């Protein structure tokens, strides 16, 4: 082989090496922009699927069949639990509010239940939009008062009323008035006139009383401590006496006992914030009653109920005796939320009851919920599953796609040149 041919061969190898390096660079650039575009496309596809399911449920919610409407309302609620989609909901706000009103006013049983569950989900999606809660308050209040409606539906309407006003009401007078209304509901579980014997109520009625009691406690977290102490001790009877709550601890129903225990802790927490000796004369009786429930071993109670009761009342007892609140840290994405007071714990539990398994997602993305817990602005790098990502505008997506196309064109062009050289 001549020297010329050797040189030619050598030169060819060098060119091939440079070409491969350039090709790898192009592939690397293309891979990067392709992954970004792919991630964005995956989120867009997920959004489209959610919206398609939502639209289908909206159509089914107008069907004549009550069972179909119930399933549609359930589907809408579950979609709103798992997905923060305020713009999409805003465009269909009037339709959704109409569904809530019709299902609560005219529906029966489960249709009323799911209608009541949808009400606070709308407010949470739309950031506490002014006037939204007031519109729904009226028919929810009417339904709670209607004794012909089953207990479960009335209980869900109670929970919805409490949460709607927690999210939207800023008038302390209106809050106190609603708290007085809730008392008329859970007063059904007060002790008899002798303040010694529990009133016999059904389990279903007990569930209603517990929801009303929890709603009362939720609104209490909004009342300034000074105002609360004044209303509690002024003799105006705006709020029940602590002895009434003490009597609720004797309820035969677990959910009433636990709601009463947590409410007593909320009362003491609010009062002590204004006056460290608040209700000091009643602490002995409270501790005795709570200690009995914290160590309850009665065999006639279900084992699971005894376990839940003991755990709750141990925390309440520790707070009464040592002024120490239970502390729980919740991590989500790159953030965390610390529940270090009875009030914030009660607020979180109320929102969890509405959001269910979607609470973590909403803590990351829902600006309204983040504002409630003072978590600061929503991070920009949260994806559909809480994964880190950078949300791109349409222009940015266009530029990414253009860059990918250019890199792909360059690579293919060079490959075509190589094939042409081989053919020649």
C-alpha span between 253 and 209 (Å, rounded): 10
C-alpha span between 419 and 155 (Å, rounded): 75
Confidence of residue 302 (pLDDT cuts 50, 70, 90): confident
* Interval 240-277: pLDDT, tens: 999 999 999 999 999 999 999 999 999 999 999 999 99
Domain ranges of the chain: 3-37+393-423, 169-324
- Provide DSSP, 402-413: HHHHHHHHHHHH
Please report the pLDDT score of residue 347 as a whole number: 98
Mean pLDDT of the chain: 85
Confidence of residue 402 (pLDDT cuts 50, 70, 90): low
- And the tokens for 352? 């969890």
* Interval 72-96: pLDDT, tens: 999 999 999 999 999 999 999 999 9
- And the tokens for 319? 């707070």
Name residue, tokens 């706000």: 93
Least confident of 214-218, 360-364, 400-404: 400-404
Confidence of residue 63 (pLDDT cuts 50, 70, 90): very high
C-alpha span between 328 and 243 (Å, rounded): 30
Name residue, tokens 């008038």: 171
C-alpha span between 322 and 384 (Å, rounded): 43
Please report the pLDDT score of residue 345 as a whole number: 97
Residues in the chain: 424
The answer to pTM > 0.85 is no
- And the tokens for 419? 């094939």
* Interval 86-127: pLDDT, tens: 999 999 999 999 999 999 999 999 999 999 999 999 999 999
């Amino acid at each position: 082989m001549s020297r010329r041919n050797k040189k030619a061969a050598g030169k060819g190898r060098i060119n091939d090496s440079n070409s491969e390096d350039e090709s790898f660079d192009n592939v690397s650039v293309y891979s990067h922009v392709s992954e970004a575009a792919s991630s964005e496309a995956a989120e867009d596809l997920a959004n489209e699927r959610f919206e398609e399911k939502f639209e289908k449920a909206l159509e089914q919610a107008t069907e004549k069949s009550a069972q179909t409407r119930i399933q549609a309302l359930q589907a809408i609620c579950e979609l709103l639990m798992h997905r923060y989609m305020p713009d999409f909901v805003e465009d269909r706000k009037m339709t959704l509010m109409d569904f809530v009103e019709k299902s609560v006013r005219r529906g029966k049983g489960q249709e009323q239940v799911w209608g009541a569950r949808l009400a606070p989900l709308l407010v949470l999606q739309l950031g506490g939009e002014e006037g939204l809660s007031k519109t729904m308050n009226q028919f929810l209040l009417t339904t709670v008062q209607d004794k012909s409606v089953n207990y479960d539906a009335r209980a869900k309407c109670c929970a919805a009323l409490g949460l709607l006003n927690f999210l939207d009401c800023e008038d302390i007078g209106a809050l106190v008035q609603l708290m007085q209304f809730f008392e008329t509901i859970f007063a059904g579980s007060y002790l008899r006139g002798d303040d010694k014997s529990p009133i016999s109520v059904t389990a279903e009625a007990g569930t209603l009383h517990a929801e009303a009691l929890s709603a009362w406690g939720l609104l209490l977290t909004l009342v300034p401590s000074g105002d609360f102490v004044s209303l509690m001790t002024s003799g105006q009877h705006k709020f029940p006496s602590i002895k009434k709550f003490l009597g609720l601890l004797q309820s035969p129903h677990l959910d009433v006992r636990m709601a009463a225990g947590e409410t007593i802790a909320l009362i003491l927490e609010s009062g002590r914030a204004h006056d460290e000796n608040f209700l000091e004369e009643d602490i002995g009786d409270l501790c005795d009653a709570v200690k009995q429930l914290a160590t309850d071993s009665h065999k006639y109670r279900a084992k699971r109920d005894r376990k839940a009761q003991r755990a709750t009342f141990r925390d309440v007892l520790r707070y009464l005796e040592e002024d120490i609140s239970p502390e729980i840290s919740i991590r989500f994405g790159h953030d965390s939320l610390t529940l270090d007071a009875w009030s914030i714990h009660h607020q979180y539990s109320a929102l969890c009851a509405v959001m269910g398994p979607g609470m973590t997602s909403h803590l990351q993305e829902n600006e309204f919920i983040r504002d409630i817990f003072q978590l600061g602005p929503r991070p920009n790098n949260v994806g559909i599953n809480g994964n880190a990502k950078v949300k791109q505008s349409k222009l940015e997506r266009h530029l990414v796609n253009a860059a990918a196309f250019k890199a792909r064109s360059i690579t293919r062009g060079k490959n075509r040149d190589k094939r042409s050289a081989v053919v020649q």
